[in-house]
């Protein structure tokens, strides 16, 4: 591209200046068409349900339709007015991707220019067609409502407006092939420094969205698979879903291994196969960092009669939200990672990192056997891994991104009280026996008071005190107490300040009672005294709490309370499942890279948060591999994981994909800087 002159059309619109002057009437045509496009754009954006914008988003959006039926959304921070306000309005948008930023970005821009030039040369050799650049609606091109330019010699030969418009239409069709290639690269471009105003002034976003027919369609296919890992009769569906995910990774060019996990023995002595775990890798360059992504493709149970307003396994879009079981937990984020990697492949651009995937199908059922697999693969699959990422939680807000650096553990208990051999009639036995249900209710009531304080002696002994650094972090977090009430559907919290609410959600233990097995629960009333009842409750632990110590404290407390009742019934307390808490170092390099990626895509710093729920695999990875572990969510706080309203917004799904791609670029840069030092 020697001999090219690069100047700015306006302060906010960097373009490549044409050295050939256009006749005045062509400039008039341009102004006229610009006005038409402005009107069409305003009409398109007004109430268009396909364009999902946050209230603070002031960028320009425009959909175009490519020849193969693929829809593309162009997003930019500059408009026609920026590009036509200069006296030098006769610009070409052929080379908007100027060489700036990092070497990877410059190479990417060069590849796009080469493809565009090659397509133009082929067309000229075939039919001597136009050499102008197209950016009109229906064709693609760069920028917001860029304008058609036709070579002046061709224009002189065709003063007839109808012939001229036909030439423009023909040029639109000719350019679609190259435009699609340019658009296919946009995820990889838009999430790197190309969208950083410091690197490329005037073109803050140029991003291709293949959501309508490709990204969203794929998510719909995944959600349609009822991969419920808790229901034995649906185990074949889980295995099917794992294989679908494996096929998607193979399409990326990854080497995929399905690690068999053996047999699961159920309580009724039935044996069913465990779904295999995917171990996939793409790239083996020792000069690049290796990132490992963990996700799962199994889901919680869901039935229409549970209260779903949409089909739980039929992805349904309502007001920009994609509803369906697994949309946010965790099929959507898994697909977003695959889509992010595929954006690099679309232009045959080398990934800036080596990437590995560990994807399972039993997370919602306790990740049976996964810890043993991680131990087994620690010296093989994980030996070259530098960073481990998990995207299986949500933000604290509906609109502000977050990075998660901690999660609570969980100890699940059952407390069983057994009386006689059979259920009894309350009219015959009521008032003369020690009823198991009365004992159980008293035991459960002894666990906490009406303010939520856990009454088990010693339970708070190992909770770490607040630090000044934590207090400062809490002050920076954007958290609307009233909005959180609304999202949870409650009228009042136990606490009234942001700091108290967040601390009880994240860094203090909590106790929840979940249900009673053996009690009559159907409509109406059954005047029976059950012979055996089992209460279920759990305690969410925080860092420094020892799981075995918590188990001992719970059992001793309940046994003491039961002893004081002097009941002849039999008490059995069991810890059904235990998962330890996890906490990470927020100054770790991948947290730095993630903050930069979030800034570039969402234009704001993330909240640094903990998660009140439990993701056991985070601690498993940390303890066994000794690698850096980070949780990088893309779901919003109102996504309704496990609920009858589970969804992911289209905005989060697409921008989350871009953020993942941006993270790969950023962690590559940080690693390169580290090695240079």
Is the Cα torsion angle 172, 173, 178, 183 positive or negative in sign? Answer: positive
Q: Are 412 and 518 in contact (CB under 8 A)?
A: no
Say how many C-beta atoms besides its own lie within 10 A of residue 653's C-beta: 25
In terms of Cα–Cα distance, which of 412, 417, 459 is closest to 565?
417
DSSP bridge pairs for 255: 281
Tokens of 418: 């057994």
298 is catalytic: yes
Contacts of 582 (CB under 8 A, 6+ apart): 406, 407, 409, 543, 615, 618, 619, 622, 629
Pairing of β 402-407 and β 321-323 = unpaired
Q: Are 72 and 183 in contact (CB under 8 A)?
A: yes
Contacts of 433 (CB under 8 A, 6+ apart): 419, 420, 424, 529
DSSP bridge pairs for 291: 355, 387
Is the Cα torsion angle 111, 114, 119, 122 positive or negative in sign? Answer: negative
Residues of the chain by 3-state class (helix, strand, coil), percent to 5: 40, 20, 40
Tokens of 81: 């007015």
Report d(CA 91, CA 78) in Å as an integer.
15
Q: Give the number of residues written for the chain.
A: 677
Report d(CA 436, CA 531) in Å as an integer.
6
In terms of Cα–Cα distance, which of 199, 219, 222, 201 is closest to 210?
219
Contacts of 28 (CB under 8 A, 6+ apart): none
Contacts of 127 (CB under 8 A, 6+ apart): none
Phi and psi, residue 536, nearest 5°: -120, 130
Give the burial class of 106: count Cβ atoms within 10 A of its Cβ; 0-12 exposed, 13-18 middle, 19 or more buried: middle
Phi and psi, residue 506, nearest 5°: -115, -45
Is the Cα torsion angle 426, 427, 429, 432 positive or negative in sign? Answer: positive
The catalytically annotated residue of 60, 116, 211, 298 is 298
- The region that residue 60 occupies, defined by phi over 0 for left and psi between -120 and 50 for alpha, beta otherwise, is beta
331-346 and 235-251 helices, crossing angle to 10°: 20
CA dihedral 163, 168, 171, 177 (to 10 degrees): -140
The catalytically annotated residue of 228, 363, 377, 641 is 363
Q: What is the CA radius of gyration of the chain?
A: 30
Q: What is the DSSP string of 135-195?
A: -STTT--SSSS------HHHHHH--SHHHHHHHHHHHHHHHHHHHHHHHHTHHHHHTTGGG
DSSP bridge pairs for 406: 583, 610
Instruction: Identify the helix (H) or strand (E) that includes residue 108.
Output: helix 103-127
Q: Are 219 and 327 in contact (CB under 8 A)?
A: yes
Report d(CA 315, CA 309) in Å as an integer.
12
- Kindly list the catalytic residues: 298, 363
């Amino acid at each position: 591209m020697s001999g090219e002159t690069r100047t700015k059309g306006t302060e906010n619109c960097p373009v490549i200046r044409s050295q050939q002057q256009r006749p005045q009437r062509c400039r008039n045509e341009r102004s006229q068409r610009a006005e038409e496009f402005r009107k069409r754009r305003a009409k398109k954006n007004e109430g268009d349900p396909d364009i999902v914008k946050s209230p603070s988003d002031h960028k320009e959006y425009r959909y175009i339709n490519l020849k193969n039926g693929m829809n593309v959304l162009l997003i930019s921070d500059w408009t026609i007015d920026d590009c036509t306000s200069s006296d030098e309005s006769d610009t070409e948008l052929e080379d908007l991707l100027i060489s700036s930023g990092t070497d990877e970005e410059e190479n990417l821009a060069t590849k796009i220019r080469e493809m565009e030039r090659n397509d133009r040369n082929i067309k000229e050799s075939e039919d001597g067609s136009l050499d102008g650049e197209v950016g009109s609606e229906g064709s693609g091109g760069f920028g917001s409502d860029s304008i058609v330019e036709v070579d002046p010699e061709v224009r002189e030969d065709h003063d007839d407006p109808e012939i001229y418009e036909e030439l423009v239409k023909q040029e639109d069709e000719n350019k679609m092939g190259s435009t699609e290639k340019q658009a296919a690269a946009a995820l990889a471009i838009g999430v790197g420094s190309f969208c950083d105003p410091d690197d490329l002034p005037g073109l803050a976003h140029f991003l291709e969205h293949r959501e309508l027919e490709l990204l969203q369609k794929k998510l719909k296919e995944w959600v349609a698979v009822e991969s419920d890992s808790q229901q034995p009769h649906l185990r074949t569906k889980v295995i099917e879903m794992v294989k679908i995910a494996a096929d998607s990774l193979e399409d990326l060019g990854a080497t995929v291994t399905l690690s068999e996990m053996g047999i699961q023995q159920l309580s009724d002595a039935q044996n069913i196969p465990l779904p295999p775990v995917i171990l996939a890798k793409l790239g083996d360059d020792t000069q690049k960092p290796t990132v490992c992504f963990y996700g799962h493709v199994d889901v919680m149970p869901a039935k229409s009669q549970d209260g779903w307003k949409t089909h739980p396994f039929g992805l349904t879009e309502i007001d920009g939200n994609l509803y369906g079981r697994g949309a946010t937990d965790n099929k959507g984020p898994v697909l977003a990672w695959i889509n992010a990697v595929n954006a690099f492949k679309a232009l045959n651009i080398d990934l800036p990192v080596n990437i590995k995937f560990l994807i399972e199908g039993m997370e919602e059922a306790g990740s049976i056997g996964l810890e043993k697999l991680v131990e087994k693969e620690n010296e093989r699959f994980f030996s070259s891994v530098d960073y481990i990422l998990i995207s299986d939680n949500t933000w604290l807000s509906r609109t502000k991104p977050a990075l998660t650096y901690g999660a609570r553990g969980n100890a699940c208990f059952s407390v069983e009280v057994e009386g006689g051999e059979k259920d009894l009639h309350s009219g015959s036995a009521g008032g003369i026996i020690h009823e198991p249900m009365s004992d159980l209710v008293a035991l459960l009531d002894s666990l906490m008071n009406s303010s939520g304080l856990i009454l088990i002696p010693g339970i708070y002994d190992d909770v770490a005190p607040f630090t000044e650094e934590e207090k400062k972090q809490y002050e920076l977090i954007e958290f609307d107490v009233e909005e959180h009430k609304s999202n949870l559907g409650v009228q009042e919290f136990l606490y009234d300040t942001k700091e108290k609410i967040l601390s009880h959600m994240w860094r203090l233990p909590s106790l929840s009672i979940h249900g009673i097995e053996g009690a009559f629960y159907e409509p109406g009333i059954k005047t029976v005294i059950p012979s055996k009842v089992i209460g279920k409750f759990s305690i969410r632990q925080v860092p420094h709490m020892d799981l075995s110590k918590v188990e001992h404290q719970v059992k001793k407390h309940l046994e003491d309370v039961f002893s004081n009742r002097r009941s002849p019934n039999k008490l059995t307390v069991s810890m059904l499942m235990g998962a330890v808490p996890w906490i990470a170092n927020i100054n770790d390099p991948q947290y730095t890279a993630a903050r930069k990626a979030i800034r570039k895509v969402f234009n704001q710093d993330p909240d640094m948060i903990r998660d009140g729920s439990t993701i056991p695999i985070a601690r498993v990875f940390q303890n066994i591999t000794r690698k850096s572990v980070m949780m990088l969510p893309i779901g919003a706080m109102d996504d309704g994981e496990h609920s009858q309203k589970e969804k992911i917004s289209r905005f989060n799904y697409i921008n989350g994909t871009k953020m993942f791609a941006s993270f790969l670029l950023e962690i590559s840069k940080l690693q390169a800087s580290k090695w240079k030092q």
